Structure 1
Amino acid sequence: MHVVLLSLFPEALAPYLRSSILGIASEKGIARYDLVDFRDFSRDRHRTVDDRPFGGGPGMVLKPEPILDCVEWLERRHGSFHRIMLTPCGQPFTQERAGDLTEHERLLLLCGRYEGFDERIREELEWDEISIGDYVLAGGELPALVVTEAVVRLLPGVLGDERSAQEESFQTAGLLDHPHYTRPRVFRGREVPAPLLSGDHAAIARWRETQARARTRVRRPDL
């Protein structure tokens, strides 16, 4: 998978893309990341990418020219991308959506800043608009990393054990994950639940499902 992130602050993204799961995916040749500063596509000597909003109001708005020129340059060079705009106005990001995105060979993630995008950026090109929650951040860099990691970790060969991506929250009947335990068997008087020590795989599976359903019912009744 080829992932391109468009950002005014690519240096903020680079270290994380080299780390942990994302770094492993890159080293294995499963994922490739390119960071592009769309300020490089500005059309004046001041490298302007934003301007005051028509109609007045606070803040600045990202101009259409640098972003559209950047996207069109990338697609001439690499072919078409599945374009993602990170915005509070987008559809909520879910585990199911992450799985859907693994079907694309190329992803392009646009990180916003300031008050938002000139609407003609949306009108000129087709975008998959994604939000990672009902709150506002200073920019789209963190959401872009969230989406990238959620997708890349699902690609075959990235995780050490493929079951890790199958037996976790939202994957089993849409439930939250069950509780996990490791050594020691007793910690500050708290013991590991007996079913997990029984060696009875059917009993363990029943216990885990019961616990997952109970946790989901309390913490996420909407699920």
Structure 2
Amino acid sequence: MTIFVITGTDTGIGKTVFAAGLAAMLGAHYWKPIQAGIDPDGDKEEVARLSGLPARHILPEAYRLTTPASPHLAARIDGVEISLDRLTLPQVDGPLVVEGAGGVLVPVSETLLMADLFAYWGQPVILCARTALGTINHSLLSIEALRTRKVPIAGIAFIGERHEENERIIPQLAKVPSLGRLPLLDPLGPAKLAAAFAAHIRLSDPFNG
């Protein structure tokens, strides 16, 4: 079973949009194990809207928390205890795209970071990064945190306006493949996302080489 884990250098950078585009391209199932904040919807509803995937391909969360906060805090406020045994990857027929919550070092619980969960899964991670100022530091720190835990890194995908130097230097310094840059899309919809993904995101080289 082909599995890709999508994470980001920060929250709100577009990794849900990237996950939707990837899941649509692969005809994959999508799973966000921990959703924190559902006003008005969670990320799986956004992925369902943007990907056009059948409803059966959008898997229910292991934890659906109402508070928009780090998972450890949202769980505490909601009176929920997050348990690792509920975060085992689901078995599906075909590819699976898994989306993390927030950035690489966001706490899942009082003792577990998102990167620790990625290490537990042992599946290749795609790091989504902004192209704007500050992304070099955030990207390299995120990659270092993943490597410290021996998490396999499939590559880095940039999201935003073109920034040739940031898009060049980060993969070079980090020694990870660049999967391309997904431009900001307005309006954002399934057809436009699919077209942008096909035009700008390259998966073949890092996964075949």
Q: TM-score range by the shorter chain?
A: 0.3 to 0.5
- Which protein, 1 or 2, shows the higher relative CO under an 8 Å CA cutoff with sep ≥ 6? 2
Q: Considering only CA atoms, is the larger Rg found in Structure 1 or Structure 2?
A: 1
TM-score by length of 1: 0.31
Q: TM-score, normalised by structure 2?
A: 0.33
